[in-house]
Chain A
């Protein structure tokens, strides 16, 4: 073994985020310029996002859920606080990030000539983990 590292996933690439959301069964809207979201608190606080899942697709949600492009290039989650209690909190975001990271990794590996040898799904106490093993193409 020669090197080991732990990285914090940051959502930056719109394509993989949209693909991840589609895989979860949503039909996200993508806007170059941020557009308003419908929210339970819409009258008090107007929220805008670039990638939006409308409320009618989100079972039990109070408002739309979106991702807004930040000046540093990251796409951050924009949602009603109440929706964290309706199944759209940390666990939901973790699922989005896991799919995003897998898609991003597979695309990068293909583009740079690495070969996927194995894909495993591991069940842990905390949840499901995905393990990908690659080899260097010779």
Chain B
């Protein structure tokens, strides 16, 4: 199983870039919200692994 890591880079203006690795679906959203805090989101992008994980979860729940 891929390691789950969260990398947050805070730039010289105090704005942050959040990069989640190894997460999928609902867990990914929860971790993302935790680290975003109350900040305004200016850009958001889901990576292929996000959907892959979600598909696996859906397949399991259909069985």
Partners in one complex: yes
- B38 lies within 8 A of A10 (CB): yes
Q: In the bound complex, what is the Cα–Cα distance between A135 and B5 (angstroms)? A: 5
Q: In the assembled complex, which residues on chain A have CB atoms less than 8 Å from the CB atom of B45?
A: 3-5
Name, among A1, A105, A126, the residue most crowded by chain B CB atoms within 10 Å (CB to CB): A1
| Chain B residues touching A, range | 35 or more
A2 to chain B, nearest CB (A): 4
Closest Cβ neighbor of B9 among chain A residues: A131
- A5 lies within 8 A of B18 (CB): yes
Closest Cβ neighbor of A10 among chain B residues: B39
Q: In the bound complex, what is the Cα–Cα distance between A133 and B9 (angstroms)? A: 9
Q: In the assembled complex, which residues on chain A have CB atoms less than 8 Å from the CB atom of B9?
A: 122, 129-132
Interface residues of A (CB under 8 A from B): 1-10, 12, 90-91, 93-102, 104-105, 108-109, 112, 114, 117, 122, 124, 126-136
Interface residues of B (CB under 8 A from A): 3-24, 28, 31-32, 34-47, 49-50, 53
10 A–B contacts, CB within 8 A, in A order: A1-B21, A2-B47, A3-B47, A7-B15, A7-B16, A7-B40, A12-B38, A96-B14, A134-B6, A134-B7
